[in-house]
Amino acid sequence: MQTSEAHETRPTLAQVARAAGVSEITASRALRGGARVARDTLERVQEAARRLNYVPNRLAGALAGGQSRQVAVVLPSLSNSVFADVLKGLETRLEQAGHHLILGVSNYDPQREERLIAELLTWRPAGLVLAPANSTELTRQRLATADLPVAEIMDIDRPAIDLSVGLSHRGAGRAMAHYLLGRGYRRLAYLGHDITTDPRAVARRQGFEDGLAEAGVALEAALLMPGPSSVTLGSQGTARLLGGCPPGGLAVYCSNDDVAVGAFFHALSQGLSVPGDLALAGFNGLAIGQALPQPLTTIESRRERIGEHAAAGLLARMRGETVQPVDDVGFRLITGATA
Amino acid sequence: MQTSEAHETRPTLAQVARAAGVSEITASRALRGGARVARDTLERVQEAARRLNYVPNRLAGALAGGQSRQVAVVLPSLSNSVFADVLKGLETRLEQAGHHLILGVSNYDPQREERLIAELLTWRPAGLVLAPANSTELTRQRLATADLPVAEIMDIDRPAIDLSVGLSHRGAGRAMAHYLLGRGYRRLAYLGHDITTDPRAVARRQGFEDGLAEAGVALEAALLMPGPSSVTLGSQGTARLLGGCPPGGLAVYCSNDDVAVGAFFHALSQGLSVPGDLALAGFNGLAIGQALPQPLTTIESRRERIGEHAAAGLLARMRGETVQPVDDVGFRLITGATA
DNA sequence: GCAAATCATGACAGCGCTGTCAACAGTTTT
DNA sequence: AAAACTGTTGACAGCGCTGTCATGATTTGC
């Protein structure tokens, strides 16, 4: 706790101020934009800071000023490139506004998510971004009283605590149903991954079935594979699905692009023609799907934009502006060659 | 700056202490593990904290204690799943040790990387993780004096500032050369992406050529495509490469799995047999490569382990232990069906 | 039974910065 | 010429917590 005068110590604002011959507070103002500081004083201070190699201590700044310029982000996973994209969008916008990201990954575990939120809150972030795996009631309560802007991202189908940025997965499912029906498919199946962790996938399937129902069509088959979505899961699932449900004009709506790509690979290795024998549709619009020999029919989910919008919403809230609670970034159906 | 006694204010340690009938410092000790605190006092304090819904303020804690329990991470990209994997490993280990991650993404831009490091350092992190795009001399200097543990990750081929965690990309390239030669391939080509941003890819290619040279073999062709690696780039690059360099026993070493998968797709759409007409090898061991109808021959890069080891190394350094400066996590050649 | 060691607790100061309010010079307004 | 600004600066206190050292209460050793 001693303030050694050895020059090893990182220079503090006080030292910069002394070097520039001004008071601490003037130095502080000069280094933060320079409002209400004479031009030459400003330059003198900046000069001194540069010379001493001054690195401000934002911990102290945040503590004194009561606002931290850090934004906490809790995501369920990073393996899924979807969240990496969102994170990218968030980082870009926030960094640009002088904020920094504290990251937590919940692994789709509500317990862990809850703990992470609580821990990240100890840093007194200026905002919070959540892609809820399955928000606990406790968490919702805590956040409601925590008095900081919260953006819940990915889907807008559920009621949000504060801000909600994403798209209607239900709507996306319906859109795909309409598209496939419009292309003349009447034999429809669903292939999904473990949905207990992925409420968005559930919503899409629901929307898909709704869309079919509107035309009086029912799913011919639905197969849920255990485990998180993956290409391998898609291949294996397709194999199983086709066991009880022969190809030949069958269209399979997959829970996402990874699964659909797997399905495509299975078709390939079995010599099934796509979409003749087996039509395929996914969700997300991942690059890999579009790079297949036949581009995948899917729905683009604009992940990076979700991140950017969430960041923008939080920043606006921090500035005290009122923001519309629901931000629908929409989606776009990509008419590929697989359905 | 006023301490309103309105109960809106977040409870502070002082309030918890008062509620528990102890001094602030005792409360502090009780809430941090409880060393040197009587058992019943400890329980009383924890009780009070729970009742008041106390959330510690780590900004204050870090400022007072002189150590922040945040670790700064600067990565060149998140689009590349490779870095997402590393990040995951880092997060897991650090979170487990009670540390949190502040994230910056440089987009492979050395300027931006430099600025990010400087900014993140203002949070007085306890450690720093870097996957250097191209460390500036200035940055190296600053970090050398910054007096905090720094882990440079991904490759161990270059001299590091402090800790180095990764694998020898040069070695990986050589290993693949040896493997392909061992399989009898004598017509070898290289297909890569824009290497100005990716020194690791350069090292692999170098190693590959070294490996060939040891057997007196030279590359028949090398094609560098502009832009970051992607599946599409792989397909297009392969098309171009095969223009001047006909298939038929040709083995193409791709700069990474994304490119190799693209190459595979190209072969598929052209009806080329793999590996008969065209053999393919990549790098990373991504799931997508292994899920292809024919699993990709590649080298597994253990990204998550790199993250975990980097975290462990930093944590050890924070505890004051001495750590070996270079941590080689190794790699593993995956004998797929494409070469 | 008394010195020495151990345990539990607290007073105090300080981490490095910023908000608030006041002061003072130089300008403009009336 | 007085009043009212405007622009620039600083003194002061305090953000919420922890390290250090000191204190009294207990236990231990011989």
Please indicate, yes or no, if residue B334 is contained in any of the structural domains: no
Is B231 in contact with A291 (Cβ distance < 8 A)? yes
Beta carbons of A215 and A184 less than 8 angstroms apart: no
* Residue range B243-253, pLDDT digits in tens: 988 888 999 99
Q: What percent of chain B has pLDDT over 90?
A: 82
Query: What are the tens digits of pLDDT across the range B119-168?
Result: 999 999 999 999 976 667 777 777 876 789 999 999 998 888 899 999 99
Q: Is position B1 within any domain?
A: no
A4 touches strand C (CB under 7 A): no
The CA–CA distances, whole Å, from A308 to A94, A206, A330, B213 equal 8, 28, 14, 49
Q: Are residues A157 and A193 in the same domain?
A: no
- Which positions 280-299 of B are in contact with A (Cβ < 8 Å)? 287-288, 290-293
B13 touches strand D (CB under 7 A): yes
**Residue at minimum CA to C1' distance from nucleotide C7:** B36
Say what the pLDDT of residue A134 is: 66
Nearest by CB to residue B100, choosing from A84, A95, A102, is A102
Please give the average per-residue pLDDT across B26-49, as a whole number.
92
- Scanning every residue of chain B, which has its alpha carbon at the shortest distance from the alpha carbon of A62? B59
Distance (Å, rounded) from C-alpha A242 to C-alpha A262?
14
DSSP character at residue A159: -
Same domain, A41 and A105: no
Domain presence at residue A339? no
DSSP string, B189-226: EEEE--GGG-HHHHHHHHHHHHHHHHTT---SEEEE-S
Position A138 scores a pLDDT of: 74
Is the Cβ atom of A12 within 7 Å of strand D at any atom? no
> What confidence score (pLDDT) does residue B1 get?
38
CB contact under 8 A, A291 and B265: yes
Tell me the shortest Cα–Cα distance from A106 to chain B, in angstroms: 9
Question: For residue range B282-303, what is the model confidence (pLDDT) as tens digits?
Answer: 999 999 999 999 999 999 999 9
Q: Domain range spanning residue A28?
A: 13-56
Helix boundaries (H) for chain B = 13-20, 24-31, 39-52, 58-65, 81-96, 110-121, 137-146, 169-182, 199-214, 231-243, 257-270, 287-291, 303-318
Residues B287 and B176 in one domain: yes
Is the Cβ of B37 closer than 8 Å to some Cβ of chain A? no
pLDDT of residue B4: 35
Rounded mean pLDDT, B160-189: 96
Pair (B123, B193) in one structural domain:
no
The verdict on A176 and A164 lying in the same domain is no
Minimum distance, in Å, between the CA of residue A121 and any CA atom of chain B: 8
**Residue A302: how many other CB atoms lie within 10 Å:** 21
Both A235 and A270 in one domain: the answer is yes
Same domain, B203 and B289: yes
pLDDT bracket for residue B5 (50, 70, 90) = very low
Q: Which residues of A touch B31 (CB under 8 A)?
A: none
Among the partner residues A104, A269, A290, nearest to B293 by beta-carbon distance: A269
A164/A258 same-domain check: no
Question: Does residue A145 share a domain with residue A115?
Answer: yes
CB proximity B218–strand C (7 Å threshold)? no
Which chain B positions have a beta carbon within 8 Å of A235's beta carbon? 291
Residue B3 confidence (pLDDT) above 60: no
Q: How far is B18 from chain A (nearest CA, A)?
A: 21
pLDDT of residue A221: 95
B47-67: pLDDT as tens digits: 999 999 999 999 999 999 988
**Strand C–CB B37 distance below 7 A:** yes
| A-B Cβ pairs (cutoff 8 Å, strict) | 139
Give pLDDT tens digits for A53-96.
999 999 999 999 988 999 999 999 998 899 999 999 999 999 99
**Which tokens hold the place of B258?**
């994304």
Q: Does B230 touch chain A (CB under 8 A)?
A: yes
Q: Is residue A89 part of a domain?
A: yes
Cis amide leading into B275 (omega within 30) = yes
Q: What is the pLDDT of residue A80?
A: 87
Residues A164 and A307 in one domain: yes
Asked if residue A68 keeps its beta carbon closer than 7 A to nucleic acid strand C, the reply is no
Q: Do B173 and B292 fall within a single domain?
A: yes
Residue B124 touches partner A, C-beta closer than 8 Å: yes
At residue A7, the pLDDT reads 44
φ, ψ dihedrals at A37, nearest 5°: -140, 135
| Structural domain contains residue A64 | no
Q: Please report, for the domain that includes residue A151, its CATH number.
A: 3.40.50.2300
Average pLDDT of chain A? 93
Average pLDDT across chain B, whole number: 93
For A110, the 3-state DSSP assignment is helix
Question: Does B52 lie at the interface with A, CB-CB under 8 angstroms?
Answer: no
Counted domains in chain A: 3
Name the nucleotide nearest B58; use CA and C1': D17
Which nucleotide has its C1' atom closest to residue A54's CA?
C16
Position A275 in a domain: yes
Low-confidence stretches of chain A (pLDDT beneath 70) = 1-8, 133-135, 145
The answer as to whether B111 is a domain residue is yes
Between vectors from CA B339 to CA B243 and to CA B300, what angle results, nearest 5°? 115
Report how far Cα A181 is from the mean position of its chain's Cα atoms: 31
- Domain assignment of residue B5, yes or no: no
Asked if B100 and B40 sit in the same domain, the reply is: no
